[in-house]
Amino acid sequence: MEHESQPGASKSAPFLISVQQLAKYYYLGRTVVPALRGIDLEVKHGEFVALMGPSGSGKSTFMNLLGCLDRPTSGSYLFDGMPVSQMTTNQLADIRNHKIGFVFQGFNLLPWMTALENVQLPLAYSDLPAEERHQLAWWALTMVGLRSRAQHRPMELSGGQQQRVAIARALVTGPSLLLADEPTGNLDSHTSIQVMAILQELNARGITILLVTHEADIAQYSHRQVKFRDGKVVDDAPNPAPSQAQERLQQQPGLDETKVIS
């Protein structure tokens, strides 16, 4: 998705993500930990996929590979048709900085910066003029319904608001893929639904989303559920009727002041 929130991502390749026999082994002294043992997975532009599976099954390792934060031991990964495994470190950084946004369970905001400054951070090394960076940060905060909290620091915000700031920070570069690793893991159930409402809205605007969760309720908001076990995909099923988070919120009014996406 570009910054103007037009629907539809680039359709240059049939799949945004295509991995084949992706493997990752961690070597700890003389011990080998097979974190991923041959993953085959294709994700179309605009999909919303929930990745599930027990702790230690390789979900975070997989997200890190998809996000170009780490390299696989073997196997291939095409991102929008481009062979990531053959890219240089600079090309990887370029994809990471322009095409992919990350959201983690711990919000990872800098405590001494305001919400607006945190959101603007990924643009610090871009060659955009300061005014444009500022505008983009406001746009991203607007997308998560938090304009009114722009000047607050993280400790003056609730957990859900902090996660929304983190989502805005992931969005500010206009990524086509959002990787969210247990983004609701530290949130209560109502706040989790608010976060899911934002993710569903972003997905409706064309951003492809991969979400790790071990909560079945949360996975219900996706179009497709993929299950990992022992570093392999053991199940991959469409969800023909995803729950609608915005509808859920309207059924439980009054718990929060903020309308999601103003």
Ligand X SMILES: Nc1ncnc2c1ncn2[C@@H]1O[C@H](COP(=O)(O)OP(=O)(O)O)[C@@H](O)[C@H]1O
Q: Write the CB contacts of 229 (distance below 8 Å, at least 6 apart in sequence).
A: 53, 54, 57
Rounded to an integer, what distance in angstroms lies between the CA atom of residue 60 and that of residue 52? 11
Q: How far is the CB of 19 from Mg ion (least distance, A)?
A: 18
Q: How far is the CB of 195 from Mg ion (least distance, A)?
A: 17
Residue 28 contacts which entry, Mg ion, ligand X, none (Cβ below 5-8 A, type-dependent): ligand X
Residue 244 contacts which entry, Mg ion, ligand X, none (Cβ below 5-8 A, type-dependent): none
Which residue has the closest beta carbon to Mg ion?
60
Q: Which of 62, 69, 64, 12 is nearest to 37 (CA)?
A: 62
Residue 186 is a binding residue for Mg ion (CB under 5 A): no
Choose between 27 and 125: whose C-beta lies nearer to ligand X.
27
Q: How far is the CB of 220 from ligand X (least distance, A)?
A: 20
Choose between 58 and 145: whose C-beta lies nearer to ligand X.
58
Q: How far is the CB of 256 from ligand X (least distance, A)?
A: 29
Summarize as ranges the residues that interact with ligand X (CB under 6 A).
26, 28, 33, 35, 53, 55-61
Residue 60 is a binding residue for Mg ion (CB under 5 A): yes
Residue 211 contacts which entry, Mg ion, ligand X, none (Cβ below 5-8 A, type-dependent): none
Identify the helix (H) or strand (E) that includes residue 41.
strand 31-44
Residues 2, 174 contacting (CB under 8 angstroms): yes
Choose between 73 and 239: whose C-beta lies nearer to ligand X.
73
Q: How far is the CB of 68 from ligand X (least distance, A)?
A: 16
Residue 248 contacts which entry, ligand X, Mg ion, none (Cβ below 5-8 A, type-dependent): none
Residue 10 is a binding residue for Mg ion (CB under 5 A): no
Q: How far is the CB of 209 from Mg ion (least distance, A)?
A: 17
Choose between 75 and 174: whose C-beta lies nearer to ligand X.
75
Choose between 38 and 56: whose C-beta lies nearer to ligand X.
56
- Please, is 75 exposed, middle or buried when counting C-beta atoms within 10 Å of its C-beta (0-12, 13-18, 19+)? middle
Cite the beta strand spans of 170-221 per DSSP E: 177-181, 208-212
Look up residue 163 and give its two tokens. 């996660």
Choose between 105 and 208: whose C-beta lies nearer to ligand X.
105
Rounded to an integer, what distance in angstroms lies between the CA atom of residue 25 and that of residue 144? 37
The dihedrals phi and psi of 153, each to the nearest 5 degrees, come to: -90, 160
Rounded to an integer, what distance in angstroms lies between the CA atom of residue 117 and that of residue 109? 10
What's the order of all strands across the beta sheet hosting 82-83? 31-44, 15-28, 74-79, 82-83
Interface with Mg ion by CB under 5 A: which residues? 59-60
